A and B are shown apart, each in its own frame.
Chain A
Amino acid sequence: MIILKKSLLAAALTFSVLTPVVGHSAETSNIYYGVQIEEFEYRYGEGGEKLFAFDGDAFIGTDELKLRWEGSSELDLTVNRFESLSNQLALQTPISDFWDIKGGVRYTSPEGPDRWYAAVGLSGLAPQWIEVDTHLFLSEKGKLSADIDIEYEILLTNYLTLTPSANIDAAFSSDREIGVGSGINRVEAGLRLSYDVWDRILSPYVGVVYERKFGQTANYVEEEGERADIWYAVIGAKLMF
């Protein structure tokens, strides 16, 4: 509860930063917002695992300054517990034609101990249309970690898209309490075939996801009787509005 209040406070603070810009009323408002849900899916693992996975973000702001919320989670449907749950609120500003930097806070609250992080990030479009989103985190325990998301869209047609993606988590030191070992500790690779059925608002997809944990992290999950690497078949939808 306290945490919820904290994040609300953070949100309120950041919005108040933006208010003067909102107040400046041009003929057309220069405040934009948007919501994009990249993953909203049911995962069925090779060992019968059933998961709900979510990855999305929302923003409000101007060309120069945006407040962006990013959230992701994996809910194990068999035991009804969050394998992972992360929320991040950051301010984002352009540094070049194609790149933005962002800074804010991240809060992870899966089953087990929670963590607050200070987060800085870089996101944008690399040459050859590769979308990149990467962060560096410093946890309240003083541990440094990082992640990177890359995604590429292959247009089979202008409506049917094949999207390979990769997601890598790394830690510079281990945080045993939350099951994180140092080094590259988790890789998730996905391949999703989506079809835009309603503008770009709704694009259902099917796909496969391969997830592998490494090193200490792998040991931690294996200790809990789970697999360190696993294939999933996924079905879900991309949303944008």
Chain B
Amino acid sequence: MRKSFMQSLQIGFMAAASIAILPSMSVAGTYDLTVDRVIIDTGDFQKEGIGYNGKSPGPVLRFKEGEDVTINVTNNLDESTSIHWHGLILPFQMDGVPKISFPGIEPGENFTYKFPIIQSGTYWFHSHSGFQEPDGAYGSIVIEPEKRDPFRFDKDYVVQFTDTHPHSGKRIFRNLKMSADYYNRQQQTLGDFFSDVRKNGLKATIDDRMAWGDMRMMKTDIEDVQGFTPLINGKGPEQNWTGLFEPKERIRLRLVNSSAMTYFDVCIPGLKMTVVAADGNNVQPVTVDELRLGVAETYDVIVRPMDDKAYTIFGASMGRTAYARATLAPREGMVAEIPEMTKAPLLTMADMGMDHGNMAGMDHSNMKGMDHSSMKGMDHSNMKGMDHSNMKGMEQEKDSFYANGSGLVPTAANGGKFLSYADLKAQKPLYEDREATREIELRLTGNMERYIWSINGVKYEDADPIVLQYGERVRFKFVNETMMTHPMHLHGMWSILDVGAGKWDPAKHTISVAPGTTVYSETEVDAPGQWAFHCHLSFHMDAGMFRKIFVEGGPKSASLNPSEQGVLQ
């Protein structure tokens, strides 16, 4: 405790001092990254992948707010590469998306990224080329704030989740294109049929199977890609990454999900987590038992173990096909019990964006003649008034970020509080709240069977860029018409998630949109140039759920000619 007291005193002095000194003082740091072929050992299997500075995950890059960073990247691969600084606000030429920000970094070449750090918090970086990211090309970023954080911690750990698959990204994608359910080993079987018959009766079970069969969709279609080993900081469940603490210390865990495809429900049995930041931005602290870490999101949580014992950091994949495990312990080698995963969720008709009376004895008479294609045009605004009063499973808490009656609504394993997007409120809003100048509707669309993913029914390769005007505030309306959850990531500008909190709405870089829901976010268009906007599930992005954003106008300094600013050597 004394230490933290001293620390905060020091920080207090430094903050006071820096006000006077900073304007004349500019911190500059140089960092070197090599992009390498590496061996990844998950404990279950070894594979060749891609990493940084000889390792996957790559290093934790530690920057300071106000610093001008220079990052020299050397491509040791035999293919083109790139690095995108996920969540960082920077000139678009430094954003690292081939063909949008810059041409990419060819084999054997160097590229020097130079940009000022104008934010703080937890972020990450990854390749934006080919399937390098699912193959292991990621690392994390920790930016120390200029002023003190609005919370206290004695220890600080990055907890980076990844989903390492024995297959290469390229192969996974081809397999999905060949057979969309290639990796789904959780499909309903004949055994499930009989157990459902016992539970719900023969007619109800047949009706249920017919309804889903009619759509040619699966209730178990929650994870497109199964068979991976979840890692935390590069360690599999058996390898057990361990963070040390002394009892009563406050530990800041920087949860980062760098997975290609996997959402994790994260809890630490025996400890409450106080969420203090989401996607790098501080939020008003909210104490929870469990949270869902969407792909590409970050959450900072404070935990305070009071006892001299080990605690398990447990991250069950959303489809419950695998779990990540790490340990917080007073001493190396101590372990705690690994909890059982709770039951795998099943999608419901609500996740399909469809009306329904009650799930158990559902009357399908109206559904028989339903044309699948007509679902597309369904007006989701009418869904609000749907009567779900007869639904089973209503005991669960409502979460407005899931469809009413959704099978995906998370519940904490210990029955406690599960974080909702609705709980996220900005600690210090980045922008003044104002009316959006216009709304852009983005329907998240796809064809699961063909493994085609798109926006407004159009794949990236066939789509025109979305043109925004510098200085406007755009309201994006995401309408998820698919049965998958899509983490939508806008580069270069913040997405202010509409949680209904007005000026306290939190600014995020990745907005997870659950099936059958409509979610709004607003963006202050304050970054000229061209940017990427896409679903962060790697294989959805590659399949076409991607758009180029073109910001018209703004300061001239942001020239659209990449060669003027990018330093290709």
Contact = CB atoms under 8 A, between A and B. Distances in A.
Direct contact of A and B (CB under 8 A): yes
A168 B210 CA distance: 26
20 contacts: A26-B461, A27-B99, A28-B170, A32-B174, A32-B178, A63-B450, A96-B373, A97-B450, A98-B216, A98-B449, A127-B214, A127-B216, A129-B213, A129-B216, A155-B187, A155-B189, A156-B191, A157-B189, A158-B185, A199-B182
B130 interface: yes
B46 interface: no
Contact of A34 (B98, B178, B450): B178
Contacts, number: 66
B142 interface: no
B187 A128 contact: no
Contact of B129 (A27, A32, A129): A27
B342 to A, nearest CB: 20
Contact of A97 (B129, B213, B373): B373
B349 to A, nearest CB: 16
B461 A30 contact: yes
B561 interface: no
Contacts of A96: 373
Contacts of B216: 98, 125, 127, 129
A158 B186 contact: yes
B556 interface: no
Interface in B442-495: 447, 449-450, 452, 459, 461
A97 B461 contact: no
A94 B174 contact: no
Contacts of A200: 175, 179, 182
Contacts of B173: 28, 32
Contacts of B131: 28
A204 B449 CA distance: 25
Interface of B: 98-99, 128-131, 170, 173-175, 177-179, 182, 185-191, 210, 213-214, 216, 372-373, 447, 449-450, 452, 459, 461, 542
A116 B246 CA distance: 80
Contacts of A172: none
Interface residues of A, number: 26
Nearest to B452: A63
A157 to B, nearest CB: 6
Contact of B447 (A97, A158, A159): A97
A213 to B, nearest CB: 33
B130 A28 contact: yes
A105 B131 CA distance: 36
B98 A27 contact: yes
Nearest to B218: A129
Given A27-B130, A36-B178, A98-B449, 11 more contacts: A28-B130, A32-B178, A33-B174, A94-B450, A96-B373, A127-B216, A155-B190, A156-B191, A157-B191, A199-B182, A240-B178
Interface in A199-241: 199-200, 240
A61 to B, nearest CB: 10
Contacts of B214: 127-128
A32 B179 CA distance: 12
A154 interface: yes
Interface string A2-39: 00000000000000000000000011101011101000
Q: Name, among A27, A36, A98, the residue most crowded by chain B CB atoms within 10 Å (CB to CB).
A: A27
A155 B450 CA distance: 21
Nearest to A156: B190
A131 to B, nearest CB: 11
B446 to A, nearest CB: 10
A177 to B, nearest CB: 38
B229 to A, nearest CB: 15
Contacts of B186: 158
A92 to B, nearest CB: 12
B461 A128 contact: no
